[in-house]
Amino acid sequence: MSRIAIAGASGFVGRNLIKVLAPHHQVRALGRSKQAGTIQNVEWKSTELFSVKSTVEALKDVDVAIYMVHSMMPSSRLFQGNFHDTDLLLADNFAHACQQNGVKQIIYLGGLVPEGYISPHLQSRQEVEGVLQASGIPVTVLRAGMIVGPGGSSFEILRSLVKKLPVMVLPRWTQSATQAVFIDDVVRVIEKAIDNPDFMQKTIDVVNGESLTYEGILRGAAKVLGLKRRMLPVPIASTGFSKLWVMIFGNSTYELVSPLIDSLLCDLPQLKPSPLIAPLIRFPQFESMIVETLKQDPNAPQGRPKRRIVHEDSVRSIQRLPSVSQDCAWIATQYVKWLPSFFFAIIKVKTCPEKNRIEFYLTVFPKPLLVLEHVKEGFELPREKFHIVGGVLSKTTNTGWLEFRQIDHKKYTLASIHEFVPKLPWLFYIYTQALLHRFTMFMFGRYLSKVSHEK
């Protein structure tokens, strides 16, 4: 009986996976909020994946760690950044936590790699693969296309569209090649991969071998649902209108729909399942997946899913900086030196080595705007972290932090602020301090690129 942790346990695949693994393994389900456990051998553990400390604690005494996190929905009141930089940071936290705890295997469920153009959504999943593999722990990468099943967002969007629209406009992207796989087949493959030497250090496309287009998916769904739908092809490649009508008629949110629609421009490879997983694929046709889904859950979902905000009054900001050969301590030092010169001495920086503190001031104002305290951590991590412990712009003294992080052997560099609670009124903050911070990090990135090449 293996001890297995599942990051993304409350998601569509996670919920189905827990049911299958629980009879044979000790399962630790990781989520932002602790849920009441009703299944034997399943422990729900509240975990903040943005925190390395929380993630390390969550993976203690774990043999196999399954990672199924895709951060397309914001967890704070204001989020500055994009989901692919967030995915990088979360994956890096997870990889380091696995290293700290001596995890024997990581299983990652990502996306199929398209032929030609690759969307930011799918490119992000490839980046996550690399970050997890950089841990040095044996990684099993499972790549899937559309996962179909009761409760899955892809199918629920599809069902809502087909039911609500008697006439459908088909943009050019509906001719893109795609792949679909049933949720039960995906779960069987993940279960088979656990602690299995045949799956170690391998990348496997989880497909059923059927060639599909998005138009074919729409027509197949309408056929199984017993609905006659008129479909009108139009020579339009833009996704802007498609995002709007999928959001309105697909019973979903823009944050979820936007990256998914962008991915529809990609042609996914038309593959046959590898001999390693072929015996586990029991739904070879898309229409049979729809039939099984309706058998298990004949009712459409009630209401549109709501955005889940975990930190009601906080700000999260993540920006990608240029990759440099120097370490994070050098980056932080450069930031402190550069900031006053960039603002023409309007801002001054005072360092207090004896207190491990950095204070930021307006030249004409005696009180510090922000006070940062350098944090020395008990484990190796390529980052410089500063707690926000005061200043007139911070509402709290014990929540927020700023960090500079290098990922995958300095392949990526991130600057981020987490759980910062501003003192300014929200509307004023959004159009002043928030915009200024984003612009400042953009300009610092340009400066960093320049000085790193001069050395």
pLDDT at 303 over 80: no
- Report, as an integer, the average pLDDT of 89-106: 96
pLDDT at 305 over 50: no
The DSSP secondary structure of 55-85, one letter per residue, reads: HHHHTTT-SEEEE-----S--EEEEES-HHH
Residue 64 confidence (pLDDT)? 98
The residues pairing with 372 across neighbouring beta strands, listed in sequence order, are: 358, 388
Most confident region among 60-74, 170-184, 438-452 by mean pLDDT: 438-452
pLDDT tens, position by position, 1-38: 789 999 999 889 999 999 999 999 999 999 877 666 67
Residue 247 confidence (pLDDT)? 67
Q: What are phi and psi of 208, to 5 degrees?
A: -110, -5
Residue 260 confidence (pLDDT)? 63
User: Whole-angstrom Cα distance, residue 153 to residue 247?
Assistant: 12
Residue 38 confidence (pLDDT)? 75
Higher per-residue confidence, 137 vs 217: 137
- Report, as an integer, the average pLDDT of 210-226: 89
Report the first-to-last Cα separation within the chain, whole angstroms: 53
Average pLDDT taken over every residue of the chain: 88
pLDDT at 280 over 60: yes
User: Whole-angstrom Cα distance, residue 308 to residue 353?
Assistant: 40
pLDDT at 304 over 60: no
**Do residues 208 and 181 touch, judged by C-beta distance below 8 A?**
yes
Percent of the chain with pLDDT over 90: 60
User: Whole-angstrom Cα distance, residue 71 to residue 346?
Assistant: 37
The residues, any chain, with a CB within 8 Å of residue 308's CB and separated by 6 or more, are 73, 75
pTM for the model stands at 0.90
- Report, as an integer, the average pLDDT of 400-414: 96
pLDDT at 87 over 60: yes
CATH class of 3-296: alpha beta
Higher per-residue confidence, 342 vs 78: 342
- Report, as an integer, the average pLDDT of 304-308: 47
Reply yes or no on domain 311-454 having CATH 3.30.530.20: yes
Each domain of the chain, given as residue ranges in start order, spans 3-296, 311-454
pLDDT at 189 over 90: yes
Secondary structure letter of residue 267 according to DSSP? B
Percent of the chain with pLDDT over 70: 88
Going by pLDDT thresholds of 50, 70 and 90, the confidence category of residue 56 is very high
pLDDT at 388 over 50: yes
- Report, as an integer, the average pLDDT of 399-415: 95
Higher per-residue confidence, 251 vs 38: 38
pLDDT at 315 over 70: yes
Going by pLDDT thresholds of 50, 70 and 90, the confidence category of residue 292 is very high
Residue 307 confidence (pLDDT)? 46
User: Whole-angstrom Cα distance, residue 122 to residue 144?
Assistant: 11
